[in-house]
Amino acid sequence: MPTYVRCVTSAPAFGQQIPESASQEVEFISLSHLNPSTELNPIPTRGIDLEYFRTYVRSLEEGGYDYTLLPYGSGTADSFVLASAVGQLTERIKPIVALRPNTTFPLVGAQKLATLDQLTEGRAVVHLISGGSVAEQARQGDYLPKDRRYSRTSEYIDLLRRAWTEPAPFSHDGEFYRFDEFGPGFAPYDSPIPISIGGQSDEAFQVGGEKADIFSFWGEPLDDLRGEIERVRAIARASGRTTLPRIWVTFRPIVAKTDELAWQKAHEYVAKIADTYSRLAYGKQALQQKGVPQNVGSQRALSFAEKADLYDRALWTRTAAVTNAGGASTALVGSAETVAAAILDYVDAGADLVSIRGYDTLADAVDYGKHVLPLVRQEIAHRKATGRRGTLQAEHLGNYAEDYRRYATAGRA
């Protein structure tokens, strides 16, 4: 267990000048949970608790989130069916369907997505998963090695877009897919359905940089993430694209009224999360591979956790360390102001979409909607109106200030 280590440069100046790399807009994503079981308090469930799911999805919409992610695994509920339910339970929030190409023929995937898009009057988004675990892929009969999985995803993207746009029947004889005289396919509501890619292997960057509308990351230290963002953009430019992929970053915030209270909560939470993970008691943890994760995103999260607990203003890696970095696992710890300021640091680095979900799932989703999203949006509106940065980032320094470090240390097991 590394001793408490923080990795922080001296406090950057948060003056009025808005960094050139800053995104001008920010949208929020949160994952939809299906039942009250959590990593803090894992309880046996059937899977879908309908009343809870309805409340969850509606709370995200009322909370001002722009998107909700329906994740996918061989042992989870089906993301398409869930997305269709989200579409009928809400008016505005956009369902993001996590889709693994090995599970659905591309023309059928295009048909399902276009159907969802028409049923929601243009709210469908797809997040293509090439698969980070050989064992998990094999559970559904997929035995392609990773680099081939990404090549398949690349062909898949082309076929999704052709199925949605080709006015006349067309045939295809590709490396992974073949068909004759398909089309015209069922069309999206009125515009192309955004395609997102997740993953940080070389193959992920190549396919995502060349073809994705959105490229997604799990939360990393700012300097490291800036490098990753520049990497995917360079590939996009080199491929001749004029529009660069939008950048999605994911965090697990731990928020309370003050930084001090947030740290007390964080230390309590990480002990519970570690216990749950040690018993593989939550969700599909039992399906996760043991030992070093195969997907690059998790490997990176563990290497950051190895090196330090705390980065930049509020990024905490202990939650990744105690869960073998399975999925989104790095936290932002602090008051709503400190966490909002930390999110703005990532917006300044180029993040367009910020995904946040807490460990106390529904309560946190509602809390962030009341206290965190408005602060970030206020600052974005201020910047638009004045051309200058507001004072939130300068006033709530988090780990750039001595007090915060003391709270981060106190109560650490």
Ligand X SMILES: Cc1cc2nc3c(=O)[nH]c(=O)nc-3n(C[C@H](O)[C@H](O)[C@H](O)COP(=O)(O)O)c2cc1C
d(CA 73, CA 334) in angstroms, rounded, equals: 31
CA dihedral 20, 205, 93, 326 (to 10 degrees): -110
Site string for ligand X, 86-125 (x = CB under 6 A): ------------x---------------------------
Backbone Cα Rg of the chain: 21
Tokens of 286: 């039992």
Report the residue number, 137 or 393, with the smaller CB distance to ligand X.
137
Counting contacts by CB under 6 A, is residue 131 touching ligand X?
yes
Neighbour tally for 82: CB within 10 Å? 23
Give the nearest distance from C-beta 244 to ligand X in angstroms.
Answer: 18
Question: Backbone phi, then psi, for 134, in 5-degree steps?
Answer: -60, -45
Q: Which stretch binds ligand X (CB under 6 A): 36-44, 115-123, 290-298, 380-388?
A: 290-298
- Tell me if 216 contacts ligand X by CB under 6 A: yes
Q: Work out how close the CB of 218 gets to ligand X at its nearest, in angstroms, rounded to a whole number.
A: 5
Report which of 335, 336, 339 is spatially closest to residue 313, judged by C-alpha positions. Answer: 339
Residue 218 near ligand X by CB under 6 A: yes
Q: Residue 399: CA atoms inside 13 Å, Cβ hemisphere, count?
A: 23
Residue 266 found at the interface with ligand X (CB under 6 A): no
DSSP assignment letter at 93: P
Report the residue from 129, 273, 314, 366 that binds ligand X according to the rule CB under 6 A. Answer: 129
Q: What mask of x and - would describe binding to ligand X in positions 299 to 328, judged by CB under 6 A?
A: ------------------------------
Residue 356 in the binding site for ligand X (CB under 6 A):
no
For the bound state, the minimum distance from the C-beta of residue 349 to ligand X, rounded and expressed in Å, comes to 16
Q: Are 344 and 42 in contact (CB under 8 A)?
A: no
Are the CB atoms for 95 and 170 separated by under 8 Å?
A: no
> Using CB under 6 A, which residues numbered 46 to 75 contact ligand X?
71-73
d(CA 242, CA 199): 22
Judged by CB under 6 A, does residue 250 bind ligand X?
yes
120 vs 133, beta carbon nearer ligand X: 133
Binding site for ligand X (CB under 6 A): 71-73, 98, 129-132, 198-201, 204, 216-218, 250, 295-297
